[in-house]
Amino acid sequence: MRFLHTADWHIGKKLHDFSLAEEQAAAFDQIEQLAKDYQVDAVVIAGDLYDRGMASEAAVAQLNGMLKQLNLNDHLPLLAISGNHDSAARLATGSEWFETTDFYLHTTLASAFEPVVIADTQFFLLPFFNLQEVRNYFDQDVKSVGQAMALIVEKMKHLFEPDKKHVLVAHFFAAGSSHTDSEIQVEVGGLDAVPTSLLRDFDYVALGHLHNPRALNEERMRYSGSPLKFSVSEANIQKGVWIVDTDPFKLTWVPLQPLHDLVVLKGSFKELTTGDLAVKYDQTQDYVAIQLTDTKLIDDLMNRLRIHYPKIIEINRPNQQSNADLKTMQTAKMDPMSLLNEFYGMVHTDQKLDDQQRQWAQDALTEIEEG
Amino acid sequence: MRFLHTADWHIGKKLHDFSLAEEQAAAFDQIEQLAKDYQVDAVVIAGDLYDRGMASEAAVAQLNGMLKQLNLNDHLPLLAISGNHDSAARLATGSEWFETTDFYLHTTLASAFEPVVIADTQFFLLPFFNLQEVRNYFDQDVKSVGQAMALIVEKMKHLFEPDKKHVLVAHFFAAGSSHTDSEIQVEVGGLDAVPTSLLRDFDYVALGHLHNPRALNEERMRYSGSPLKFSVSEANIQKGVWIVDTDPFKLTWVPLQPLHDLVVLKGSFKELTTGDLAVKYDQTQDYVAIQLTDTKLIDDLMNRLRIHYPKIIEINRPNQQSNADLKTMQTAKMDPMSLLNEFYGMVHTDQKLDDQQRQWAQDALTEIEEG
């Protein structure tokens, strides 16, 4: 069989107060089209369908619409699990009915041991879990996610039908992966990592959680990554989905084109407002993270940059003069006129007081001294 | 056909911080049993399934379980609408799938014009709506709920199949009804009332919104009321469901037995703590609203009553001496000893200072005067 592997949709997510609803709709449209073009037998969504357990009404309406489109309109079987961003209890709403149309949405640990068979493949849908659930389920102490997964995998293997392929759908941090910033980091002392060695009996492991599809470099265990860039640290990560053939095994990466990109622009204030970057990105609808190279203070910086880049999500100033520098200047024995001149240059990038300003300042200083 | 008419479940509701989950589960069990005993062809739930749009995870799990039980386990067709307490967008989750098993959950105005036919009856499921939705739908100005309903009913009548019975399921305030306290009151200048005259073309109108099943005394238009008492003003209202036969038309009221009742107890502190009431209700698990007849201040009142009545939801003191009385006493020209005596009697119900206390007080007063 052939299926499409995606994850981490994070419907409802905002990027520094910008709604991503349109971007997410555009990414969804591409995923839907790919599912049709590749004539897949199922779509796998490996957790974090929502960005928050308490999703907004708009997010609920958007995700409901997407799932309905794929399953009821396109008649595609769906295989989904809850991730750490989802509320398992809320996401479960309707799930018993969904199965009537081959939409399998698993949100409990127990349901991971009810494999779904589609064509030649048994799918084990393991939702994001916490250790206490595993302790309760197996009625024994469990100290790490690795230990939990050893129990879970063992139980799954007892359910393996030998003439079938075996695919695990899961949402966790597999060992060897490298993180990006936009996952909520929940590790305590490395207890959260699942060793990839535990997962080798599956023909494929369709993972969600990390947003980088290259986070794990195992032929048969993959993160799909998120369909969109959700943080500045993902600016250089190509987004897409996996098309997975089970027999013979074949993995195909298909990139998604963002409606608007997320880019990091580096340069001085002058370059960003008048140079090549300013011309190339003028009035861009892309999400822009700015690395400003200037050392000096710049007055009303955000508003002046927003004229050129309406969707600034971050400004970083690695070279900015620190308050310590200012303090050194203030405490140095400079005469008042030089101090004022220096300060003016800091606030108004490298400008100096003009003759008229200098005259006004001198008059005021003289008056103070005489007073 | 025969159906059961209920409404206003308000799953997730708390009564003065007491969870009602157990009471609601017990009421549900009775409703389920009645549906089986009366062999109904459908269960109608006329809105306010949840108490809040943003229901808790526990409430979501509880309502999901109830709906699953009725529809998937008992194979009962369900006909439900969203009420003013529900979030239509959230409640709609899964509704397209529910129809595969004859569970019709309507949350939009448009869906009110897609009647559901079961046996000899067309059901029109009209969710709670606001005027703006009606203006948008009909593309014309609408100034009152009555005017809105005139348009809605007219459109429904065009869809009437003449050989069928016609039942409207709705959630609003019908004119002539008398309110209880626990509905959120949304009327502005009477604009919210629907005249019952508009509804006479239906064979039956199954209403939700008011919690009193006697709120409307029309043979063919009924509030079912809530399955539980949700406020002190509902203490004397009998709760239950209607069993409705369409042909020949017959209406049967079946009361529900609360797991724990909500009662109003009236008496003096002494009667409530040592008299017949105290004996009858000692350590009661019922929800108790207290009407305290004493006129005097009573020290640590709530805690002392809670020893006998653990679930106090309200204390009313119609006869309590007002602050004005106290002020009069204070400003009257009483000597300090009499004033102290009087005050002691107020705080410690009608007791007087004993000889030892009187001696201590006299000594202290003498010391002050001499000082």
Of B64, B89, B100, the CB nearest to A60: B89
Contact B61 A92 (CB under 8 A): yes
Query: Residues of B with CB below 8 A from A82's CB?
Result: none
Residues on B contacting A at a C-beta cutoff of 8 Å: 53-54, 57-58, 60-61, 64, 68, 72, 87, 89-90, 92-98, 100-101, 103
> Which of A58-72, A211-225, A240-254 has the least mean pLDDT?
A211-225
Task: Supply the DSSP string of A59-126, one letter for each residue.
Answer: HHHHHHHHHHIIIIIS---EEEE--TTS-HHHHTTTHHHHGGGTEEEE-STGGGGSPEEETTEEEEE-
Q: Which positions in chain A touch B72 (Cβ < 8 Å)?
A: 96-97
**pTM, 2 dp:** 0.82
Is residue A322 domain-resident?
no
**Do residue B192 and residue B309 come from a single domain?**
no
Give chain A positions within 8 Å (CB) of B58: 89
Residue B321 lies in a domain: no
Q: Which of A205, A226, A255 is the last residue of a domain?
A: A255
Instruction: Examine the domain organization and report whether B297 and B354 are in the same domain.
Output: no
The 8-class DSSP code of residue A184 comes to P
Find the closest chain B residue to A60 by CA distance: B90
Distance from CA of B300 to the nearest CA of A (A): 41
A interface toward B at CB cutoff 8 Å? Answer: 53-54, 57-58, 60-61, 64, 68, 72, 87, 89-90, 92-98, 100-101, 103
A340 and A232 in one domain? no
A306: nearest Cα among A287, A334, A324, A323: A287
- Scanning every residue of chain A, which has its alpha carbon at the shortest distance from the alpha carbon of B54? A54
Q: Give the closest of B53, B54, B97 to A94, CB-based.
A: B97
Whether B281 and B250 map to the same domain: the answer is: no
CB pair distance less than 8 Å for B97 and A103: yes
- Cβ-Cβ contacts under 8 Å, A92 against chain B: 61, 64
Amino acid A162: pLDDT:
96
Residues A310-315 have a mean pLDDT of 93
Q: Do B72 and A98 touch (CB under 8 A)?
A: no
Say what the pLDDT of residue B331 is: 62
Contacts of A214 (CB under 8 A, 6+ apart): A237
Cβ proximity of B20 and B259 under 8 Å: no
Same domain membership, residue B99 and residue B21: yes
Cα B279 from Cα B272, distance rounded (Å): 9
Same domain as A280, residue A245: no
B211 plus B308 within the same structural domain:
no
**Pair B46, B159 in one domain:** yes
Select the residue of B60, B100, B101 nearest A90 (Cβ to Cβ).
B60
Q: Which of A292, A316, A340 finishes a domain?
A: A316
List, in order, residues 6 or more apart from B133 with CB less than 8 Å away: B109
pLDDT score for B299: 85
**Domain count along chain B:** 3
B28 and B59 assigned to the same domain: yes
The count of CB pairs under 8 A between chains A and B is: 55
ipTM: 0.79
Give the type of residue at B135.
R
Confidence of residue A347 (pLDDT cuts 50, 70, 90): low
CB A250, CB A274: distance < 8 Å: no
Residue A293 lies in a domain: yes
d(CA B54, CA A54): 8
* B20 and B112 share one domain: yes
pLDDT tens for each residue of B289-317: 999 998 888 888 999 999 999 999 999 98
Q: How far is CA B229 from the centre of its chain?
A: 6
Same domain, A242 and A281: no
CB pair distance less than 8 Å for A87 and B54 = no
Tens digit of pLDDT per residue, chain B (371 long)? Answer: 999 999 999 999 999 889 999 999 999 999 999 999 999 999 999 999 999 999 999 999 999 999 999 999 999 999 999 999 999 999 999 999 999 999 999 999 999 999 999 999 999 999 999 999 999 999 999 998 999 999 999 999 999 999 999 999 999 998 754 455 454 444 434 557 898 989 999 999 999 999 999 988 888 999 999 999 999 999 999 999 999 999 999 999 999 999 999 999 999 999 999 988 888 888 889 999 999 998 888 888 999 999 999 999 999 988 776 655 666 666 666 778 888 887 777 666 667 888 888 888 888 888 888 87
Q: Which domain holds residue B293?
A: 262-316
CA distances from B338 to B98, B325, B341 (A): 75, 16, 5
Output the domain CATH number for residue A227: 3.60.21.10
B47 inside domain: yes
Report the share of chain A in percent with pLDDT over 70: 91
Q: Are residues A128 and A8 in the same domain?
A: yes
Domain end (from B255, B285, B308): B255
CB-nearest partner of A101 from B57, B89, B100? B100
